[in-house]
Amino acid sequence: MLNVTEKAISKVNELLEQDKKQGQYLRVFVEGGGCSGFQYGLTFVDKQDADDNVVECNGFKVLVDPTSAMYLAGAEVDFIDGLHGSGFKISNPNAQSSCGCGHSFKA
């Protein structure tokens, strides 16, 4: 359903340890907004909902709610560290177009 690269897994584990949030989940979601209509979100949460899709990663679980899962099927979460900054990037094969910043898309 959703692929998480080794660089992203490493960064999430680093953040979980740094912020003393071991045992929490990473929720990846889609919500309305952004310059293209939908935007991506990532946050740490304490609990899993009964209808969440779960992706097992090395050291943590990624949660995706059913609505977001429709938009994120086959997407990849990566961590980019480059000259223009660093951060998580979602490559989504379901996006018809995306904005220049890469944080929002049109479905």
In whole angstroms, what is the distance from residue 88 CA to residue 103 CA?
9
73: tokens are: 């099927």
In sequence order, what are the beta bridge partners of 106?
Answer: 97
Q: What is the rounded end-to-end Cα distance, in angstroms, of the chain?
A: 17
- Residue 23 falls within a domain, yes or no? yes
Quick check: is 17 in a domain?
yes
Asked if pLDDT for residue 41 goes beyond 60, the answer is yes
CATH number of the domain enclosing 29: 2.60.300.12
- Closest CA relative to residue 42, chosen from 17, 58, 24, 20: 24
* Confidence class for position 105, pLDDT limits 50, 70, 90: very low
Q: Does 107 map to a domain?
A: no
Instruction: Decide if 12 is inside a domain.
Output: yes
- Better-predicted residue by pLDDT, 35 or 101: 35
What is the Cα Rg of the chain in Å? 13
Return d(Cα 94, Cα 91) in angstroms, integer.
9
pLDDT over 50 (residue 42) = yes
Bigger pLDDT: 60 or 34?
60
Q: Which domain holds residue 70?
A: 2-102
Task: Indicate whether 68 belongs to any domain.
Answer: yes
pLDDT in tens, 50-103: 999 999 999 899 999 999 999 899 999 999 988 778 899 888 887 765 554 444
The three-class DSSP label of residue 97 is strand
Domains: count for the chain: 1
- Tell me, what's the pLDDT at 94? 76
Q: Does any domain span residue 54?
A: yes
